[in-house]
Amino acid sequence: MMLSSEAPCTSPSVRNFWELLKPRVMSLVIFTGFCGLWMAPGHIHPILEFTAILCIATGAGAAGCLNMWYERDVDKRMTRTMARPTASGIIHPDSALAFGVILSVLSVTVMQVAVNTLAAALLALTIGFYVGVYTILLKPNTPHNIVIGGVAGALPPVIGWAAVSPLDWRPWSLFLIIFLWTPAHFWALALNYAAEYEEAGLPMMPNTAGIKKTKKYIIIYAVLNVLSAIIPYVLGMAGWIYLGCAVVFGIGFIYLSVELYKSDDLREGLRVFAYSIMYLFVIFAALIADRKIYG
pLDDT along the chain (295 residues), means of 10: 45 87 91 95 92 97 96 89 90 95 98 97 97 94 93 96 94 97 95 88 91 96 97 92 96 97 91 96 94 76
Say whether both 159 and 186 belong to one domain: no
CATH number at residue 179: 1.20.120
Say whether both 142 and 184 belong to one domain: no
pLDDT of residue 295: 65
Say whether both 162 and 176 belong to one domain: no
pLDDT of residue 10: 58
Say whether both 106 and 125 belong to one domain: yes
In the chain the beta strands, taken as DSSP E runs, fall at none
CB atoms under 10 Å from CB of 155, counted, come to 30
pLDDT of residue 198: 87
CATH number at residue 24: 1.10.357.140
Tell me if 13 is assigned to some domain.
no
**158 Cβ contact list (under 8 Å, min separation 6):** 36, 122, 167, 171, 172, 174, 175
Q: Which of 240, 251, 237 is nearest to 174 (CA)?
A: 237
Parent domain of 75: 18-168
pLDDT of residue 266: 84
Say whether both 179 and 145 belong to one domain: no
* Global pTM exceeds 0.75: yes
Last residue of a domain, one of 139, 168, 197: 168
Determine the Cα angle at 139 with ends 151 and 9, to 5°: 110
Total of domains in the chain: 2
Say whether both 127 and 255 belong to one domain: no
Say whether both 103 and 176 belong to one domain: no
Say whether both 261 and 234 belong to one domain: yes
pLDDT of residue 7: 44
CB atoms under 10 Å from CB of 185, counted, come to 28
Q: Which of 79, 75, 171, 84 is nearest to 122 (CA)?
A: 171
CA distances to 17, 94, 268 from 86, rounded to whole Å, are: 10, 10, 30
Q: Which of 82, 93, 268 is nearest to 189 (CA)?
A: 268
